[in-house]
């Protein structure tokens, strides 16, 4: 799998890093034997204990964090940016 840094955005003064994850070659399969489709992950800044968190989109297109709580307004802004980046990527891929 290939990971590409797309952009970094600051919310509440903290940097959130957006990455595009996609297959390294056509037909690459993941751990369950399913072909990998491109998706975006966001790496959240470190908490007080030094751990980062990953933010993903669920099947309905809502952002959620894997281990920590984030205010709803931050998740909404991240969700909007993730959706915007995916639409941009689809547009670029069609050209």
The answer to whether 1 and 36 have CB atoms below 8 angstroms apart is yes
Model confidence pLDDT, tens digit, residues 11-60:
999 999 999 998 999 989 888 888 988 899 999 999 888 899 999 999 88
* Two structure tokens written together for 64: 């959620």
How far is Cα 48 from Cα 61, in angstroms, rounded to an integer?
29
How far is Cα 85 from Cα 73, in angstroms, rounded to an integer?
18
Q: Any idea where the domains of the chain sit in the sequence?
A: 2-94
Alpha-helical regions (H) of the chain: 72-94
Model-level pTM? 0.87
Residue 12 Ramachandran class (φ > 0 left, ψ -120 to 50 alpha, else beta): left
């Amino acid at each position: 799998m290939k990971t590409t840094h797309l952009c970094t955005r600051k919310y509440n003064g903290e940097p959130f890093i957006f990455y595009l994850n996609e297959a390294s070659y056509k037909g690459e399969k993941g751990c369950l034997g399913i072909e990998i489709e491109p998706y975006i992950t966001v790496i959240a800044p470190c908490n007080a204990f030094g751990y980062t968190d990953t933010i993903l989109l669920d099947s309905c297109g809502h952002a959620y964090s894997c281990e920590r709580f984030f205010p709803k307004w931050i998740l909404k802004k991240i969700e909007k940016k993730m959706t915007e980046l995916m639409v941009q990527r689809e547009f670029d891929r069609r050209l």
